[in-house]
Structure 1
Amino acid sequence: MESIANLFEKQEYYHVFQPICSLPGKKRMGYEALLRSSRNANPEELFQTAKEQKELLEFDTLSMYYALRSFFQSQKRYRHELLFVNIFPSTIVDETFPAFIQKLSADYAPYQNQIVLEINESIMEGKIWNEPLFLKRIAKLRECGFLIALDDVGDGTTTFRKILEIAPDFIKIDRFFSQDLSRSQEKQKVVKLFVDFCRDDAQLILEGVEQEEDFACAAGLGVAIGQGYLFGKPGRLPGE
């Protein structure tokens, strides 16, 4: 059976990048790296299979490493832009994770303040969020200079208590709230709640923005950052 590392090297596993832009000017401030496979059209199935085969840790860390390598290979082009890379809670609490982060820090030292570790909110791993080691590892990552984002807030298991404990740099609220935002007063109330909550500390990112009227509504509510097809679909980096 071919190794996971070989599949990354052969680019059978590869990354596409989706723009993340500031509002209201739509200025690009970074990208999210999203894993793809030439063998499987569903990226979620890749991680599910890896979990079932007890290879999630290796798969997750290799995905992070190759995403960084792909993005930062052009030093000048992306010198000031952020890269959001996904990571599972189980990876963060694994005993081998500190050594992996040490290697990552050494290899990408000039870019550490551009790397945003986006914590995947997997319901399967919900218990890990309550482990003291999880919070300690998050604190250590921030000490090392990495930024932290919480993904899909409003759709999973994240509570305001967890947000306060983790104190993320970015809060990404689920695409459910951006769809038909301009026509839903209820969704507007929730988005405004997050805008007010994030005013002083975390930066709010609204995911799944696709329509101009929803973009305009989000900007009017004070949302600072957006991600979605309106700003660009996931794809290869410009110039590749």
Structure 2
Amino acid sequence: MGEAALNISNIMRQRLFFHEYQPLWNTETEEIFAYEALIRTSPIINPVLIFHFGRERGVLYEFDIASITNAIKEYPESYYQKYHLFINIFPSTLVHPDFPTLIRGLLQDYPMISGKVVFEINEEPLESMIWDADTFVERINLLRELEFLIALDDLRLSSVSVKKILKYSPDFVKLDRSCSRHLAHSINKQKAIHSLLTKSEDNVVIVLEGIENEEDLKTASHLGIPAVQGYYISRPHRL
């Protein structure tokens, strides 16, 4: 970890990172409707390791905000007119005391993001307790007041996921890639997804991640999943 930690520290200090963008596909219109921003580094280091290092050093908020800001900055301005932009955010960033000032500042500097940015709330196990905090709900409401959209990220096919959807009423729900793996050949997964679609509110868009072949894409469409994402649609790339 020593050399890797040193590299990560240098990356954070010199801002040696950039973003690639992966499209989200509307299964009904068969068109791209959004892109997700994914952080990349030079030299290449697993993003999970970078954020883990940031947490250990007490600078997770600073790095998460730097990533969010850069994702907005690098996204072509013309794309905001046609596509939404999904950006990952940690719950701890959302409840940070400085976040309200930061998000209002971003909205002032980049007015075109109004109504076009979807914040994907990260399902980090170490931050699971934050979801029940009053401040967490207040910050979600703040984002909505400022015309940002909300997505719950990496949910599983479980009753806990259904409870979260009903509690927070997100605009989008992104199902973990484990839900799509071998979907075409798993009756149990198909039934579970059908049940989730039935129990979810009509205004919640379910996004199935990890689509990597035509069979699973056709199955997802047949089940009525409105949106998908994965290597079969497109790999992440610079815009």
How much does 1:190 deviate?
Answer: 1.2
Q: 1:166 aligns with which of 154, 165, 168?
A: 168
How much does 1:94 deviate?
Answer: 0.7
TM-score by length of 1: 0.91
How much does 1:159 deviate?
Answer: 3.6
Q: Distance in 2 between matches of 1:130 and 1:15?
A: 31
Maintained 8 Å contact 1:135/1:165: no
Matched length: 231
Residue 52 of structure 1 corresponds to: 56
Residue 214 of structure 1 corresponds to: 216
Q: Distance in 1 between matches of 2:46 and 2:235?
A: 16
Shift in alpha-carbon separation, 1:3–1:41, aligned structure 2, 3 A? closer
Would you say 1:79 and 2:86 are equivalent positions? no
How much does 1:140 deviate?
Answer: 1.1
For the aligned residue pairs, the C-alpha RMSD in angstroms reads: 1.8
How much does 1:77 deviate?
Answer: 4.1
How much does 1:7 deviate?
Answer: 2.6
Maintained 8 Å contact 1:15/1:33: yes
Would you say 1:62 and 2:69 are equivalent positions? no
How much does 1:78 deviate?
Answer: 4.1
Tell me which amino acid in the other structure corresponds to 2:175: I
Segments of 5+ residues of structure 2 without an aligned counterpart are 1-8
Q: Distance in 2 between matches of 1:205 and 1:75?
A: 24
Q: Secondary structure at the match of 1:228?
A: coil
Q: Which moved more, 1:99-108 or 1:194-203?
A: 194-203
Q: Distance in 2 between matches of 1:186 and 1:93?
A: 37
Q: Distance in 1 between matches of 2:67 and 2:38?
A: 9
Tell me which amino acid in the other structure corresponds to 1:116: V
TM-score by length of 2: 0.91
Q: Distance in 1 between matches of 2:81 and 2:130?
A: 34
Residue 19 of structure 1 corresponds to: 23
Would you say 1:90 and 2:97 are equivalent positions? no
Q: Distance in 1 between matches of 2:104 and 2:80?
A: 23
Q: Distance in 1 between matches of 2:158 and 2:73?
A: 30
Q: Distance in 2 between matches of 1:103 and 1:140?
A: 14
Tell me which amino acid in the other structure corresponds to 2:14: L
Shift in alpha-carbon separation, 1:123–1:156, aligned structure 2, 3 A? farther
